[in-house]
């Protein structure tokens, strides 16, 4: 894969014991250093105007002056430092790079993956929250729509948390589909099954809140039976994968049980969906807080695009997953 990377993303300093810290990117790069076929690309930061296309100008101004004053705790979870403004623009810029280069034809071994931080999917139009300042995936989607490079963009979010921010940005829009599989009851406690969009955006939001303990078989079943048909019906020009790795069985902050191989299997499954519908693919980093499992998860996505065939699991999904998927299919007429 081609990994978008920018040193400025290390300058977002969240303090000593914060789970979302620069060591995450260092661990990913160390993991990738052992792999074949890894390439890095640089990208320009997003501009203020491009960020304001999905965020309120007042919020963006407020954040800029908060950071200029030295930063601090925006809320109990979300900490800014002097480097946060530049890091957040750089992180959004990397996701724009990923979306643009995918639509320019980068695929297969050249599939782009934006390795930015701070992450984005909790950032709502008028606020930072949940370690996120600018909604990177949303900025990227809006940018390629504004460029005229795409008419429809789908965002699939496999981070263990619901991407409330991404959902909010596009909730009433019919040109962006947002689909998420997340752990029920976890922060920020949004993303119920019946949140399916509003007005023109009706049925372009897809939420599958799986019960704690779900693993590879549940995720693969959910993608096969709910996410893939939703993507096929929407027929996007571009799929952005909001790729967090905190549903890993050894991640410290969730109770999900996805394995490293599970991330390879999901990558492979999504690739066959996008191949079928002729959509470009870009990956954008979200969460993932176990340094080893985060590095391994990213490496598994890479290896899958580099030609490694993942080993399928023989497990069956839980009955709870099957009935939830059936309910969603009925609700969305999939
Ligand atoms: Zn997360």
With 90 as the cut, is the pLDDT of residue 175 above it?
Answer: yes
- Specify the 3-state DSSP secondary structure of 237: coil
- What is the Å distance from ligand 1's center to 184 Cα? 12
With 90 as the cut, is the pLDDT of residue 118 above it?
Answer: yes
- What is the Å distance from ligand 1's center to 287 Cα? 4
Q: Which residues are catalytic?
A: 122
With 90 as the cut, is the pLDDT of residue 105 above it?
Answer: yes
Average pLDDT on 144-170 reads: 98
Taking alpha carbons only, the member of 257, 249, 167, 170 closest to residue 210 is 257
pLDDT of residue 151: 98
Is the backbone peptide bond immediately before 188 cis, with ω within 30 degrees of 0?
yes
- What is the Å distance from ligand 1's center to 265 Cα? 19
13: alpha, beta or left? (left if phi > 0; alpha if psi -120 to 50): beta
- Specify the 3-state DSSP secondary structure of 155: strand
Sequence ranges of the domains in the chain: 2-332
DSSP collapsed to 3 states, 282-320: EEEECCCCCHHHHHHHHHHHHHHHCCCCCCCCCCCCCHH
d(CA 316, CA 215): 10
Kind and range of the H or E element at 325?
Answer: helix 319-332
Q: How confident is the model at residue 313 (pLDDT cuts 50, 70, 90)?
A: confident
pLDDT of residue 207: 98
Q: Tell me if 245 sits within 8 A of 263, measured CB to CB.
A: yes
d(CA 196, CA 79): 31
Q: How confident is the model at residue 50 (pLDDT cuts 50, 70, 90)?
A: very high
With 90 as the cut, is the pLDDT of residue 21 above it?
Answer: yes
The residues, ordered by sequence, that sit 6+ positions from 67 with a Cβ below 8 Å of its Cβ are 80, 81, 82, 84, 85
pTM, entire model: 0.98
Average pLDDT on 95-115 reads: 98
pLDDT of residue 320: 98
- What is the Å distance from ligand 1's center to 148 Cα? 31
With 90 as the cut, is the pLDDT of residue 16 above it?
Answer: no
Mean of pLDDT over the chain: 98
pLDDT of residue 329: 98
Tokens of 99: 């979306």
Average pLDDT on 188-212 reads: 98
* Domain 2-332, CATH among 3.10.20.600, 3.90.100.10, 2.40.10.10, 3.40.800.20: 3.40.800.20
pLDDT of residue 314: 85
With 90 as the cut, is the pLDDT of residue 26 above it?
Answer: yes
pLDDT tens sequence across 206-254: 999 999 999 999 999 999 999 999 999 999 999 999 999 999 999 999 9
Tokens of 254: 């969730």
- What is the Å distance from ligand 1's center to 192 Cα? 16
Average pLDDT on 185-207 reads: 98
Dihedral angle, C-alpha 297, 298, 302, 307, nearest 10 °: 0
CA separation, residue 298 to residues 98, 135, 243, 250, 313 (Å): 15, 20, 9, 15, 19
With 90 as the cut, is the pLDDT of residue 141 above it?
Answer: yes
d(CA 126, CA 265): 36
- What is the Å distance from ligand 1's center to 30 Cα? 21
With 90 as the cut, is the pLDDT of residue 295 above it?
Answer: yes
């Amino acid at each position: 894969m081609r990994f978008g990377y920018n040193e400025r993303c290390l300058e977002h300093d969240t303090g000593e014991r914060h789970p979302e810290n620069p060591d995450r990117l260092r661990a990913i790069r160390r993991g990738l250093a052992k792999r074949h076929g890894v390439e890095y690309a640089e990208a320009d930061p997003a501009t203020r105007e491009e960020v304001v296309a999905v965020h309120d100008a007042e919020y963006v101004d407020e954040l800029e002056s908060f950071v200029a004053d030295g930063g601090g705790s925006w809320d109990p979870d979300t900490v800014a430092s002097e480097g946060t403004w530049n890091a957040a623009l750089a992180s959004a810029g990397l996701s724009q790079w990923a979306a643009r280069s995918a639509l320019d034809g980068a695929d297969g071994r050249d599939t782009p993956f934006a390795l930015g931080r701070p992450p984005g999917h909790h950032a709502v139009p008028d606020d930072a929250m949940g370690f996120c300042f600018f909604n990177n995936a949303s900025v990227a989607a809006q940018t390629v729509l504004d460029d005229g490079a795409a008419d429809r963009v789908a965002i699939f979010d496999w981070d263990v948390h619901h991407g409330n921010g991404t959902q909010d940005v596009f909730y009433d829009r019919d040109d962006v589909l947002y689909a998420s599989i997340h752990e029920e009851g976890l922060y920020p406690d949004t993303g119920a099954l019946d949140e399916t969009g509003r007005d023109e955006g009706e049925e372009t939001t897809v939420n599958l809140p799986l019960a704690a303990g779900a693993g590879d078989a549940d995720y693969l079943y959910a993608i096969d039976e709910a996410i893939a048909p939703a993507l096929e019906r929407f027929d996007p020009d571009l799929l952005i994968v909001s790729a967090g790795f905190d549903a890993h069985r050894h991640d410290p902050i969730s109770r999900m049980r996805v394995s490293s191989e599970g991330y390879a299997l999901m990558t492979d499954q999504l690739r066959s969906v996008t191949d079928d519908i002729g959509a470009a693919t870009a990956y954008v980093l979200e969460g993932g807080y176990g340094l080893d499992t985060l590095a391994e998860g990213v490496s598994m996505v890479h290896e899958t695009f580099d030609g490694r065939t993942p080993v399928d699991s023989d497990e069956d999904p839980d009955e709870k997953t099957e009935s939830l998927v059936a309910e969603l299919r009925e609700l969305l007429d999939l």
